[in-house]
Amino acid sequence: MAKTILITGGAGFIGSHLVRLLVKQYADYNIVNLDKLTYAGNLANIADIENNSNYEFVKGDIVDTDFINELFKKYDFDSVIHLAAESHVDRSIESPMDFIMTNIVGTTNLLNAAKHTWEGSFKDKLFYHVSTDEVYGSLGAEGMFLETTSYDPRSPYSASKASSDHIVRAYHHTYGLPIVISNCSNNYGSHQFPEKLIPLFINNIKNNLPLPVYGKGENIRDWLWVNDHARAIDVIFHKGKNGETYNIGGHNEWTNIDLIKVICSVMDEKLERPEGESEKLITYVTDRAGHDMRYAIDATKLQEELGWVPSLQFEEGIRNTIEWYLSNEEWLTNITSGDYKEYYDQQYKNR
């Protein structure tokens, strides 16, 4: 069935992979990509599909109520897949207000516009909210996050995402707005902004810079290939049940330090450096404030009800990812010049 779909944040890391997948897979969908192009948004991420006839880019801010209302008047959207967000925990610790505005106010603007436009008949409409496992808080050595796990967000970022999840559910319960929410674990892959652990460390190794490991490097994350996240969103968008939440994860837990050692080893090989050379760059620095210890997702519901399973093993995925950053030097250089340098100096100066 032909559809017009608004995707927000489609110039970012996950959004660009999702836009590419949907544009290529569904010729009869009209995909409108709305993005403010903050420091994290980059049209180069989707340059390969920008001329497709079923794709359109609109630059704009989800916090701007009038702009959002006009956009919904202009396009007859059938669905929204909402990814636009401030997404980096360290930045949320430094500047929480941007997170409150985009993640909470921006999400509410979109909900209001969708509700107003679709009121009268919600039939075949859907507001899909893309969220994170960080809303569930931090695990000890045992257990995994289920869809029923109580919310316990602990950083300004996760609190802003938890807040937006609650508001999305409130619009479903109060007004009957058709919604689905997914909460995913850490993503890795190409086109990720190099403030996040994996691309930051690849870039630092390449440039012989210190690798700033927070605390003892014992924190655990559950890593999923970004294209598998995009595939999960596709499945949930088409087959998910109205009002439901789905956890997405890779059953792939790593302590930061073990993951970093894998990256170091593959980088030694790729850069033809002596074995052990990159590990010498590891530098233990002051821990992240309020650093969550462990995340682990139980994605059984998604697997059993909708048939999604991850397609790529981590060992292969991390090698492909490293190769991508090494062979896309121009992408990395463009991003790490200018404002990025200022951010990097500021973020790591007192650690």
- Which does residue 263 touch among ligand NAD, ligand DAU, none (CB within 5 to 8 A, set by kind)? none
Site for ligand NAD in 64-123 (CB under 6 A): 83-87, 102, 106
Interface with ligand DAU (CB under 6 A), residue from 196, 231, 270, 294:
196
Least distance (Å) between residue 18 CB and ligand DAU: 15
**Nearest partner of 214 among 348, 40, 41, judged by Cα:** 348
Q: How far is CA 333 from CA 325, 327, 330, 342, in A?
A: 10, 12, 5, 14
Query: What 3-state class would DSSP assign to 6?
Result: strand
Q: How far is CA 321 from CA 51, 102, 191, 263, in A?
A: 26, 29, 9, 10
- Return the C-alpha torsion angle 99, 12, 285, 275, nearest 10: 170
Residue with tokens 């090989």: 269
Which of 43-51, 105-113, 128-136, 272-280 is the region at the interface with ligand DAU (rule: CB under 6 A)? 128-136
CB contact at 8 A, 30 and 1: no
- Which does residue 182 touch among ligand NAD, ligand DAU, none (CB within 5 to 8 A, set by kind)? none
Percentage helix, strand, coil, to 5, in the chain? 45, 20, 35
Report how far residue 112's alpha carbon sits from residue 68's, in angstroms, rounded to the nearest whole number: 9
Q: Mark 241-260 with x for binding to ligand DAU (rule: CB under 6 A) and - for no binding.
A: ---------------x----
- Which does residue 13 touch among ligand DAU, ligand NAD, none (CB within 5 to 8 A, set by kind)? ligand NAD
Amino acid letter, residue 348: Y
- Is residue 184 within the footprint of ligand NAD (CB under 6 A)? yes
Q: Is residue 157 flagged as an active site residue?
A: yes
Report how far residue 340's alpha carbon sits from residue 349's, in angstroms, rounded to the nearest whole number: 14
Which of 30-38, 170-178, 316-324, 343-351 is the region at the interface with ligand NAD (rule: CB under 6 A)? 30-38
**Catalytic one among 35, 134, 195, 228?**
134
Interface with ligand DAU (CB under 6 A), residue from 106, 137, 153, 212:
212
- Which does residue 336 touch among ligand NAD, ligand DAU, none (CB within 5 to 8 A, set by kind)? none
**Catalytic one among 35, 61, 133, 222?**
133
In the complex with ligand DAU, the residue whose CB is nearer, 50 or 279, is 279
In the complex with ligand NAD, the residue whose CB is nearer, 61 or 147, is 61
Residue with tokens 């980096």: 88
Least distance (Å) between residue 188 CB and ligand NAD: 8
Amino acid letter, residue 20: R
- Is residue 41 within the footprint of ligand NAD (CB under 6 A)? yes
**Nearest partner of 321 among 275, 279, 259, 276, judged by Cα:** 259
- Which does residue 326 touch among ligand DAU, ligand NAD, none (CB within 5 to 8 A, set by kind)? none
Q: Kindly list the catalytic residues.
A: 133-134, 157
